[in-house]
């Protein structure tokens, strides 16, 4: 018997019992579909996060001040505000930090903006003009904070596009006066949307910027910087620049052991690596859960194949009596099992890609990515499952004695 005959026989037996075939394939269809959908959605989320982080600017080193303590309880990172003007000046000196191109000090707090009857609660950042370079900000209207604004503590404000549309749904915000607390600020610019939807601190569209000096004088009091963002010359210079920043700060603060420092240095590469490893683990976890359903599906196929062998005992006996070798029977049942899983695998693949598209586009709004790894994996896995779970029923069938089988009622 050649492969064509085996295939013909297998397709024939599967179509005779189409209901049972569909039921046994269902486990594989669901398993493969969920593996594909979950892994692809996971990868979409990962690329979204990467994009969000790169939206912050490129080649960034983030220096945050240590944690403030209330009693013995550490507060959030950056709450101490222990980075000061001396640190900033030292970092800005190119002789200390030759691999650095820009330094952007930041103080920030959550606050409420009011314009007439509208209000918005948002993150208020005190920044210098360097923030525009470092955070890769482009303006959609007006201009960013300038050096004279800083020098003269001018009450001017740059709005993120989300804040702008909340406060000025129908009018041009430029030149309008908004108030924060008791201070009035003139709107001088609106930044271009970065399309960030990650929420939390990654959402640069939902924040506002004021001159750092104004923030200290009018809003937050003369506190230290919560963050200093440093931009390295290039991706290759990241490690050198990070070391330069660390050494400079330690020298300025007069410490020799980095463990005593009341600041943290993180660079963007580390953040990306960490986040990618988190989402990677998450994707793996989702894939693993979906993988379990694949195994359950495989066991379902084994069950149905075993039933099928029992049901077709007489057929097996007859086939053997008229010349089928043990191997002929083995291949017949094995090919049936593999055929179920492969067809189920392709159906699952189609459904999975469709589910991925729906989830990515409409529910969690991440880029729609078809994971080629997931596809190759699922096809390989479905063939393997067909083999692994089909071999036992097929072996059982092939070992049936023809007399017993023919006698079977």
| Complex with another protein: residue 321 or 373, whichever CB lies closer | 321
Least Å distance between CB 24 and another protein? 18
| Cα–Cα distances in angstroms (integers) from residue 171 to residues 78, 115, 139, 167, 176, in the given order | 36, 12, 17, 9, 10
By C-beta, is 11 or 383 nearer to another protein?
11
Shortest Å distance, C-beta 323 to another protein: 3
Q: Tell me the closest approach of the beta carbon of residue 338 to another protein, in angstroms.
A: 20
Shortest CB 309 distance to another protein, Å: 15
Residues that bind another protein (CB under 8 A): 1-2, 5, 12, 16, 314-315, 317-326, 328, 402-403, 406
Angstrom CA distances, 180 to 68, 115, 121, 122, 190, stand at 25, 9, 10, 11, 17
Q: Which is nearer to another protein, 88 or 400 (CB)?
A: 400
**What is the C-alpha separation between 227 and 244, in angstroms, rounded?**
17
Nearer to another protein by Cβ, of 48 and 312: the residue is 312
CB of 320 to another protein, least distance (A): 6
Identify which of residues 191 and 332 has a Cβ nearer to another protein in the complex: 332
Q: Nearest distance from residue 328's CB to another protein, in Å?
A: 6
Give the helix/strand (H/E) hosting 403: helix 402-407
Taking each helix axis as running N to C, give the angle between helix 326-358 and helix 18-55, from 0 to 180 degrees, rounded to the nearest 10.
40
Q: How far apart are CA 352 and CA 34, in angstroms?
A: 6
Paired tokens of 393 = 């029923």
Beta strand pairing call for 139-142 and 207-211: unpaired
Residue-wise burial string across 73-98, b where 16 or more C-beta atoms lie within 10 A, e elsewhere? eeeebbbbbbbbeebbebbbeeebbe
∠ CA 193-194-196, nearest 5°, is 115
- What's the full length of the chain, in residues? 409
Using the minimum distance from each CB to another protein, give the nearer residue, 12 or 69. 12
């Amino acid at each position: 018997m050649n492969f064509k005959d085996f295939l013909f026989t297998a397709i024939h037996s599967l179509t005779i019992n189409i209901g049972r075939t569909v039921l046994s394939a269902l486990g594989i269809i669901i398993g493969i579909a969920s593996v594909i959908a979950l892994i692809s959605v996971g990868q979409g989320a990962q690329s979204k996060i990467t994009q969000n982080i790169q939206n912050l600017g490129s080649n960034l080193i983030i220096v945050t001040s240590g944690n403030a303590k209330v009693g013995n309880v550490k507060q959030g990172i950056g709450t101490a505000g222990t980075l000061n003007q001396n640190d900033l000046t030292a970092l800005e000196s190119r002789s200390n930090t030759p691999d650095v191109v820009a330094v952007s000090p930041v103080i920030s707090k959550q606050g409420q903006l009011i314009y007439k009857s509208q209000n918005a609660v948002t993150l208020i950042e005190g920044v210098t003009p360097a923030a525009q370079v470092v955070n890769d900000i482009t303006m959609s209207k007006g201009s960013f904070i300038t050096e004279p604004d800083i020098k003269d503590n001018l009450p001017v404000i740059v709005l993120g596009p989300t804040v702008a549309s909340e406060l000025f749904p129908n009018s041009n915000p430029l030149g309008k006066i908004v108030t924060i607390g008791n201070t009035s600020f003139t709107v001088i610019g609106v930044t271009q949307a970065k399309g960030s939807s990650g929420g939390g601190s990654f959402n640069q569209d939902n924040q506002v910027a004021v001159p750092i000096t104004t923030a200290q004088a009018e809003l937050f009091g003369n506190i230290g910087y919560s963050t200093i963002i440093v931009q390295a010359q290039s991706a290759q210079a990241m490690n050198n620049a990070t070391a330069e920043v660390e050494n400079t700060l330690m020298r300025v603060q007069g410490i020799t052991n980095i463990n005593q420092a009341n600041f943290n240095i993180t660079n963007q590469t580390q953040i990306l690596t960490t986040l990618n490893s988190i989402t990677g683990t998450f994707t793996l976890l989702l894939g693993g859960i979906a993988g379990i359903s694949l195994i359950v599906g495989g066991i379902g196929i084994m069950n149905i194949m075993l039933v099928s062998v029992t049901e077709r005992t007489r057929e097996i006996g007859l086939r053997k009596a008229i010349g089928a070798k043990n191997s002929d029977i083995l291949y017949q049942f094995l090919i049936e099992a593999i055929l179920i899983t492969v067809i189920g695998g392709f159906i699952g693949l189609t459904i999975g890609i469709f589910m991925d598209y729906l989830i990515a586009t409409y529910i969690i709004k991440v880029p729609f990515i078809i994971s080629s790894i997931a596809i190759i994996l699922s096809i390989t896995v479905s063939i393997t499952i067909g083999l692994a779970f089909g071999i036992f029923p097929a072996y059982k069938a092939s070992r049936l004695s023809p007399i017993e089988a023919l006698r079977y009622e």
